[in-house]
A and B are shown apart, each in its own frame.
Chain A
Amino acid sequence: MTRVLVVDDEPQIRRALRTSLSAHGYEVQTVGAGEAAVLAAAEASPDLVVLDLGLPDLDGIEVIARIRSFSAVPVIVLSVRERQADKVGALDAGADDYVTKPFDVGELLARARAALRRSESHEVEAKLVFDDIEVDLGRRLVMVAGTPVHLTKTEYALLEAFVTNPGKLLTHQWLLRRIWGPAYQVESQYLRVYVRALRRKLGDQVSAPRLILTEPGVGYRWIAEP
């Protein structure tokens, strides 16, 4: 049974999440404050943490930092639209994903599933298939609808980052560091250019994206299901 720790100071949210998550077969523990959350994460070793950023005692980023010091448990953050900077800060501090309040429970569950999947499977398949996209990581080959596609070195690195982290929100900072190294000199606008090029080559349309979804101001997410 997958154990989820829900952290929110609002009792109604805790109740709603407990009901939905248990109905989907998760074992739910709830706490109402940051300090208690860090303790519960340490003692109960949950498989997933759902953390509200608007806690009364501790800054959400602080909670994440503390949990990250002893655990790699996936953390999904709940935030309000107006606190964009907090959201990005949380992601940079180690949160895996976020959901904006008022949230769609279905969306939260989908993100939770994706986060759990990633944490469980440390083995990455050599060959990945998403719809009509085939990626052979071993031989660095990419095919779209059976036709080989040529990608530049950077474009391939970007694609690799995406497909090895499906469903995960990858921040600009994370992508820049991964592709250009920790001392990256490149701004996120350049990242955008590569994403655009990659999409074009993979046949992803802006009006109805099915491969790469943009979260403006935050990062990108590979949404194709394997």
Chain B
Amino acid sequence: MRSVSSERGARGRSRAVLVGIAAAALALGLALLLHPRPALGAVSVFLLGVVVASALGGALAGIVASIACFLSLSYFFTEPQNTLRVARTEDLVALVVFLLVALIVGSLVSRLLDERARAVRSEQEARLLSYFATKVLSGEPPDAQLRDLAASLVESLRLSRCEIHASIGERSFDAREVRSSKDERPASVVVLTIGGEEVGSLLAARDSAHEALDAADARLLEDAARQVTIALERAIKDEQIGRARTEAEVSEVRAALFSSVTHDLRTPLSSIKAGVTSLLQDETRFDAQQRHELLTTVLEETERLNRLLGNLLDLARVRAGALTPAKEPTALDEIVESVLHRLRRRLSGVHVRTILRDVPDVLADPVQLDQVLTNLLDNAVRFSPVGGEVTVSVAPWRSTVELRVADQGPGIQPDDRERVFEAFYRGDGSERPGSGLGLAIARAIVQAHGGQILIEGAPGGGTVVVVRLPVAGGSVGDPSR
């Protein structure tokens, strides 16, 4: 049942009057047909007419119908007939009582129906607000929430347009639902405020096919607006929390990395200082062999420190987005040769095997590729058993050139084969020497060249690092993903 109290204004009133008169006329017609005149039993028919008028046209219609029926009764159904005069006193009393009863019944009926309509509407509103509240707590992104809210307002209030606009700090939110663009009535606008500050507005409009928004609708819009501001506040807070959490994580990671790096830098320095200061001790006499050993350690630690520094600088460049390779046509076998020669002392404890097939040139930065191979060989040596075999091979593979470095060490578990490429990751967390940067840098460089790097397991145990670089003029796909 429509809400009858939404009828307002002159149009509504004239309509009510018409309804009242029409109901009375119908009742009159019915009464004339049913009862032989004059019979005051027609009263029951007229009373029915009043009830119908109130039900259909509201309180005003009921009043109009009451009066019209009263007059009809007086005219058609009391002596003398066809005049408004009433002969007998008891008839007059009966008529007056009828009028009173009609008025009372009419108002009761219309109020009853009003209450019912109001109850239905309240239920609708409650349901709508409950839906809003659920949406706000749902954790959906705020723009989606506002869109849903606007849509449900359009739905339940039969709006032609609903818009929500808000801006908080640097964030702005907009939602718009348009149902029809026929002549629109003036829109109702509710201002959204957070903490007393105006942050936006909620706009609702109906088109001319529907009645204008009334006070109850306005109240509903205000409640909805309050829900919208809650949703917005929540969205902002969530973003702030998210940012704070990320910052905390980042500074935690940074602190951990920093302490790891300072440790790694200090360790070789400690060995160097220890070696040198002990040689500087005047009291101690070292023989040539001991002196040679100490100094060899100092030299090795110097080289280790230099490698670490190279990796750290590359890491800094990667982080700053400045790792741009200076590419030129490069022969991978020449890189292998150069690095093997330079690292010959470091590789002295293992047996190096090379398998170098004919390969086309790759477009690459020779210094950076040198760094990649240096890091891979460094790892291979570190994890190889004494006298173990390290194999370096270069071969064509589809449209790429493939470089493989294999060792006979403990190998890397399949679960770890991606994680080892993370900066500062060191496998099972054991105190293995090595900065944990080698593979991370290698990957950054290889990827900056449009290539691919991955870990495979070797059939007899051990690790194989596979690097694929595009032949000059191509780029590697990503078949592993």
Contact = CB atoms under 8 A, between A and B. Distances in A.
Interface of A: 81-82, 84-85, 102, 187-189, 192, 206-209, 213-217
A93 to B, nearest CB: 19
A41 B154 CA distance: 90
Given A206-B333, A206-B337, A213-B337, 20 more contacts: A82-B313, A84-B326, A84-B367, A102-B302, A102-B306, A188-B329, A189-B331, A192-B331, A206-B336, A206-B354, A207-B340, A207-B354, A213-B338, A214-B334, A214-B337, A214-B338, A216-B338, A216-B369, A217-B328, A217-B330
10 contacts: A84-B366, A189-B361, A192-B334, A192-B361, A206-B336, A207-B340, A207-B354, A213-B337, A216-B338, A216-B366
Contacts of B335: 216
Given A216-B330, A217-B328, A209 B337 contact: yes
Contacts, number: 52
A81 B337 CA distance: 18
B339 to A, nearest CB: 9
A114 B134 CA distance: 84
Given A82-B313, A84-B326, A209 B370 contact: no
A209 B329 CA distance: 22
B56 interface: no
Interface of B: 302, 306, 310, 313, 326, 328-331, 333-338, 340-341, 352-354, 356, 361, 365-367, 369-370
Most central of B302, B366, B369 by chain A CB within 10 Å: B366
A46 to B, nearest CB: 29
Contacts of A189: 329, 331, 361
Contact of A215 (B331, B338, B340): B338
Closest 4 A/B residue pairs (Cβ):
A217-B366, A216-B366, A207-B354, A214-B334
A104 B240 CA distance: 54
A144 B338 CA distance: 24
Contacts of A187: 329
Given A207-B340, A209-B337, A214-B334, A81 B354 contact: no
A192 B313 CA distance: 31
A66 to B, nearest CB: 27
A39 B469 CA distance: 48
Nearest to B330: A216
Query: Which of A81, A216, A217 has the largest count of B CB atoms less than 10 A from its CB?
Result: A216
A189 B340 CA distance: 21
A165 B334 CA distance: 21
Contacts of A192: 331, 334, 361
Residue among B333, B334, B369 with the highest chain A CB neighbour number at 10 A:
B334
A187 B361 CA distance: 12
Nearest to A87: B367
Contacts of B334: 192, 214, 216
A213 B367 CA distance: 16
Nearest to B331: A192
Contacts of B341: 209, 213
Nearest to B317: A82
